Amino acid sequence: MRLSSYFLPTLKEDPAEAQIMSHRLMLRAGMVRQASAGIYSWLPMGLRVLRNVEQIVREEQNEAGCQEILMPTIQSADLWRESGRYDGYGQEMLRIVDRHDRDMLYGPTNEELITDIFRNSVRSYRDLPKLLYHIQWKFRDEVRPRFGVMRGREFLMKDSYSFDLDHAAARRSYNKMFVAYLRTYRRMGLKAIPMQADAGPIGGDLSHEFIIQADTGESEIYCDTDFLNFDTSNAEYGDDKHIKNIVDYYTSLYARTDEKHEQEVFEREVPEIRRYVGRGIEVGHIFYFGTKYSEKMNATVTGPDGSDIVVEMGSYGIGVSRLVGAIIEAYHDDAGIVWPDSVAPFAVGIINLRSGDTACDTACEDLYAKIQAASIDVLYDDRDERAGAKFADMDLIGVPWQLIVGPRGLKSGIVEVKRRATGEREELSLEAALSRVLS
Ligand code: 5CA
């Protein structure tokens, strides 16, 4: 992509309405624009990152044996009346009446709809277990939408649903998703700590939130400091026992959100110097709620002896759009965003220090063509701008590798390669610079 024709409306000044860094940077880097309170349009740069995050989530769900579907955003109120949640959900639900006077709603979550799909299509215990997910926009009319995409009203969520024959099998599905979550966040360069959490309006008695420690986070957290530095590199799949061991390990230390916090247990289990009380961002939430929906909605399968068995369910959410903000909270510096390679909107940026100069233009065009030919996303700053402005913009948008091409270096066949994360610079030949960013 050539920056001269790219739709990238960056801002020089910090927007007044943004209270936290990720929100400021998303606006300044031209990633999103607010459409109305808590509702955002994603511009090209923002959408690239959103899609990258979404793709990691998708790959890890697929790897866990979860199958992708796509349910609509608009649902019928009747299903929610069956589960008993239509009235209970309160003002957070956006209720809509269609032209035939039918009550509809913009889905805040999909337990009812997926249970309906299941009960109409699955008959036998032999078809279990089933794990299904979709990545779809949700709407929750939050009282206080804030911090940009962190607490939006419309937001992108990955939600999975498991169907099992009994409690033990449902627990296996829960454990598998637990490991999938550790792997998913790891790929984004994040440490998301699983914490015992309240199940709220989704229900059930077993639930974990995955939380990234951040002073600007909205969740109040209490945990063992050993957890803040934990390493999830051994969170891998294996047989059921192996997976259970991993879950046991990552839940062995005290880690709870405020609703589940018990000061007395905290003090008993965690030595004083290791007691962390702070804040975090909830990037995922998983629930086991057994037969809460399947019983009311009559989702049963025929068991081995011919009797009807009410299926056991769980649901598993990841805040895809929130993650974009959360990653920026974790990865930024004074100059702007510092994208981890796995989610970066472009892998490489080329800065032409003197657009219009034949040697610079030729070298940049050559690098640009070769990087594109290697199927690597590259952003070429070919604008007629001052070098300082180009450096500032490339740092602001956080592209991980920068190739800086100027007339002086080119005289001796050299370009500069800068790593955004460390600020390290190397002077290399064009060939060596290419192989550095392509490797
Ligand atoms: N049905 C269940 C799991 S599939 C569910 O809805 N869970 S949830 O309510 O915890 O939401 C899942 C995730 O969506 C949360 O962990 C959070 O990361 C994200 N999320 C929730 N509300 C918002 C919001 N208002 N703005 C942005 N992300 C949100």
Task: Give the mutation target among 139, 142, 144, 322 for probing the ligand 1 site: most ligand atoms within 8 A of CB.
Answer: 322
230 pLDDT tier (thresholds 50, 70, 90): confident
Gap between the Cα atoms of 100 and 401, Å rounded: 56
The model's pLDDT over 356-408, given as tens digits with 9 standing for 90+, comes to: 999 999 999 999 999 999 999 999 999 999 999 999 999 999 999 999 999 99
228 C-beta neighbours (distance < 10 Å), count: 16
Ligand 1 atom with the smallest distance to the CA of 160 is: 4
- Taking residues 70-75, report their average pLDDT: 98
The model's pLDDT over 96-118, given as tens digits with 9 standing for 90+, comes to: 999 999 999 999 999 999 999 99
CA atoms within 13 A on the CB side of 76: 9
- Taking residues 224-249, report their average pLDDT: 89
Predicted local confidence at residue 204, as pLDDT:
82
Q: What is the pTM of this model?
A: 0.97
**What residues does ligand 1 touch, defined as CB less than 6 Å away?**
109, 140, 142, 151-152, 155, 157, 159, 202, 282-285, 287, 315-317, 319, 321-322
Nearest CA to ligand 1 atom 19: 319
Predicted local confidence at residue 370, as pLDDT:
97
